[in-house]
A and B are shown apart, each in its own frame.
Chain A
Amino acid sequence: MKHLLSIAELGRDGLEELLDLTDSMIEVAERRIPKVPALRGKTVVSLFYEDSTRTRLSFETAAKRLSADTMNFSVSTSSVKKGESLRDTVLTIEAMGVDAIVVRHPSAGVPWQIASWVDASVINAGDGWHEHPTQALLDSYTIRERLGSLTDRHIAIVGDIKHSRVARSDVFAFTALGAHVTLVAPPTLLPPSLEGWPVAVSHDLDSVLKTVDVVYLLRMQKERQSEALLPSLREYTAQYGLTRERARLLGEDTLVMHPGPMNRGVEIAAEVADLPRAVITRQVANGVAVRSAVLFKLLSEPDGGSDA
């Protein structure tokens, strides 16, 4: 496996292999000195065209746990417009000698384009609305850790599905691992076509909450209000937010998850975010282990391994 570009391309076997490998990475994380020499001498570069301190640090920590060297290349959009083409930027980075490029970009498809231009391994850390594979991996791992397995579990993904790369990757991952997924969102926040998506759809959060093992909340961005996708955030919270009242409808063992950062009071009530069933901080911890697993899998294989 040379790249991790999408969950869709990874398949069930690839997913399970990475989740199993994550078990070993969790063990490393729990040691006194959470570090192994596995990727000593390898260099991992973060190429982030979108601000995201959290994900970038997560990858950096993941790389350092394996003794890899890291480099950061945060590109603010204004400097990109100054003229260096995406391809030139990426080839310049590669010339410095890197083994893996972790890329986040506001446009879908950039990781594929980069993978066609470089020899290094490419990891998609989020491309526009399209996919965020390591998020889906850490979400799947967290569910597996808490509920044992995803087979036949019922999972609701709530919120702005249309613009969410997290939702897309999660749908692929959860269904590949045997779960049943229901999308809950107002019509304006669903993708134009759900053809071929193995999901159910509902606009009634209350009825769905009673039936699920996991409620996965997506972040509701204020900008959606200005794009006429929502009349107001208040109305969104009233219809689709996980309020204190709604949280009481949940089954005893139902998990509440969120990719972070949370808008407390919008998609999730402040008190609900602090309940024991809300495993958001566990997701973050698992994120580093999952990313270590991905880096190890991609960089420990001999060059000339088959392309993903």
Chain B
Amino acid sequence: MAERERRITPPYGGVFVARKRVMDAEAVRRAVTRIAHEVIERNAGLTDVVIIGLQTGGVPLARSLAETLERIEGNGVEVPCGSLDVAFYRDDIGLRPVMPEAVTSIAVDLTGKVVVLVDDVLFTGRTIRAALDALTDYGRPKAVQLAVMIDRGHRELPIRPDYVGKNLPTRRDEAVDVHSDGVDLGDMINDRKPRP
């Protein structure tokens, strides 16, 4: 299977080598649609719902979710969508090299909103903890809900997702990669440097 480079994002670093495809593109699309329905049901509509994708894996999913929500609900409703880079809120600054991958872009005041955080893979929960910290700097949301495509277990903090694409039990040393063609299970080869 193809190697895929991963930029150094915690807790991974190095080159991702896939072993098994666990979801294909169609399965991902269906999961997004299902999650969209769940969001609408849970929040009795889309009033005050804001979608925020976490850099970088959650951003394309967030956009896809926002578009799906608008399509399902119809009536020309617009769902605000933003992106959040949590580099400045991580708890492992100083332990590993960490740089923001993109500039955070949240155009609305989050006070009183229902924020649906979107990420590709939920693992230890530390990234989500950092994201919750970051969100409070943009206002006081009415509620924060979490949508992830893959929950791979091994939580280190009391964080739980509200919407899950697929539960995927993994070994701690394995890696999961969500991309445009689907979701792969594989390994991070740390001593191989990503191609420039």
| A28 interface neighbour in B88, B93, B95, B133, Cβ under 8 Å | B88
B98 touches A300 (CB 8 A): yes
Is A148 positioned at the interface, with any CB of B under 8 Å from its CB?
Answer: no
Complexed CA–CA distance, A31 and B93 (Å):
22
Report how many residues on chain A are interfacial, defined by Cβ distance under 8 Å: 25
If A35-B137, A37-B88 are given as contacts, then 5 extra A-B residue pairs at C-beta distance below 8 Å, sorted by A number, are A17-B99, A24-B87, A31-B137, A36-B88, A301-B94
Is A299 positioned at the interface, with any CB of B under 8 Å from its CB?
Answer: yes
Q: Is the interface of A mostly helix, strand, loop or mixed?
A: loop
Q: Which residues 2-38 of A sit at the B interface, judged by CB distance below 8 A?
A: 17, 21, 23-24, 26-28, 31-33, 35-38
Is B96 positioned at the interface, with any CB of A under 8 Å from its CB?
Answer: yes
18 A-B Cβ contacts within 8 A?
A17-B99, A21-B100, A24-B87, A24-B100, A24-B103, A24-B104, A26-B103, A27-B104, A27-B105, A31-B137, A31-B138, A32-B137, A33-B137, A37-B88, A37-B89, A38-B87, A39-B93, A303-B94
Chain A 33-50 near chain B by CB (<8 Å), digits 1 or 0: 101111100100000000
Interface size class of B (residues with CB under 8 A): 20 to 34
Find the B residue at minimum CB distance from A28.
B88
Is A305 positioned at the interface, with any CB of B under 8 Å from its CB?
Answer: yes
Q: Which residues of B contact A21 (CB under 8 A)?
A: 99-100
Q: Which residues 43-94 of B sit at the A interface, judged by CB distance below 8 A?
A: 85, 87-90, 93-94
Q: Which residues of B contact A17 (CB under 8 A)?
A: 99
Is A276 positioned at the interface, with any CB of B under 8 Å from its CB?
Answer: no
Is B97 positioned at the interface, with any CB of A under 8 Å from its CB?
Answer: yes
Q: Which residues of B contact A33 (CB under 8 A)?
A: 137
Chain B interface residues toward A at CB < 8 A: 85, 87-90, 93-100, 103-105, 109, 133-134, 137-139
Q: With contacts defined as CB atoms under 8 Å apart, how many contacts are there between chain A and chain B in the complex?
A: 54
B94 touches A302 (CB 8 A): yes
Q: Considering the complex of A and B, which 5 residue pairs feature the smallest CB-CB distances, nearest first?
A: A36-B88, A38-B88, A24-B100, A300-B93, A23-B103
B89 touches A38 (CB 8 A): yes
Is A296 positioned at the interface, with any CB of B under 8 Å from its CB?
Answer: yes
Q: Which residues of B contact A28 (CB under 8 A)?
A: 88
A66 touches B100 (CB 8 A): no
CB distance from A256 to the nearest CB of B (A): 28
Complexed CA–CA distance, A37 and B139 (Å):
16
Complexed CA–CA distance, A17 and B100 (Å):
11
Q: Quick one: which of A31, A297, A305 has the most chain B CB within 10 A? A: A31
Complexed CA–CA distance, A302 and B103 (Å):
23
| B97 interface neighbour in A35, A38, A39, A302, Cβ under 8 Å | A302
Q: Which residues of A contact B133 (CB under 8 A)?
A: 37
